[in-house]
Amino acid sequence: MWIDYSTTVFLNSNFTESFSTKNSFYRQFLSFNDELVNEEREVEIEDADIDFSKVDIPKGMEDSAIKLIGYFVYRGIPLKYAATMVGFWTGESGLDPTTLESDNVIKAPRYSWTKEKEEAVKDIDKYTREVVFPSYAKSKDWAGKIRVDWYKHKGKYYCGIGIGGYTAWAAYELLERAKKVNSNWYDLALQAGFEVDVYAGKGFFNNPEVKNAENRSFDDSYLHFLGRHQYRDGRWHDHSRVDYRKKNIAYFYNKFKSGEWQADEEFNKKADAYANKLK
């Protein structure tokens, strides 16, 4: 998949749009600059640094983590990389498949499908423009850092939804493909199948960075997966809750490695069934 970031649109504290045009920058998700990754290496995930007694995992997050990691491993993704993916997403959605970006603004409860979320998704373009963008524009940490063109697809804006915080074309595809298989987009099993067979595709998971993950550091896997989310315009962009994410990655990995957590075979079957329909 290729991305053209020739036009940048940032939201500032006054919720106005400022435009700047740069040379078109194209990059392929499957091969970003390894030298830059080494230069930007800041995240180190070592088991010795993690006090697991202080890792607080909500029940909904734990349930999702067990199912997702178990499924990804079942699909041939190394445990270390699967744990990295799912741990990274804890900072995006808390592994809540019903997540809508900025759903805290509409006071929608987590890990459940509610009327507030249902109403928001009915016109996701309006919700993104009237709820998501203003929430960032008013934010002390994010004002001026969010580009609205990251959210645009086919003339509409799609905020982050689901476990991966899928935006733009990915959110559109998740919503549309769920309709085609007569299911709910917020079904965790559907999103698991979507991630492997639609969003990432086999090419991503066949990449040597993924296949050899068990022989590499957590840091390597983290930065490789991070590149899919935060490497834009030839540079790294801020992402939040780094310590939180990396603690969860190590915690999830150790739970599976020790055998305390086991894959959910019924979930694997359900996710596989969706994956075959979604292709």
| C-alpha span between 219 and 221 (Å, rounded) | 5
- Residues 208-230: pLDDT tens digits? 889 999 998 888 888 888 877 66
Q: What is the pLDDT of residues 72-130, one digit of tens each?
A: 999 999 999 999 999 999 999 999 999 999 999 999 999 999 999 999 999 999 999 99
Is 172 in contact with 194 (CB distance < 8 Å)?
Answer: no
Q: What are phi and psi of 157, to 5 degrees?
A: -105, 135
Residue 235: φ, ψ to 5°:
-150, 160
For 43, which DSSP code? -
CA distance 255 to 61: 14
Contact 197, 274 (CB under 8 A): no
Cβ partners under 8 Å of residue 262, min gap 6: 66, 70
Helix, strand and coil in the chain, % to nearest 5: 50, 10, 40
Reported as a pLDDT band with limits 50, 70 and 90, residue 13 is very low
186 within 8 A of 162, measured Cβ to Cβ: yes
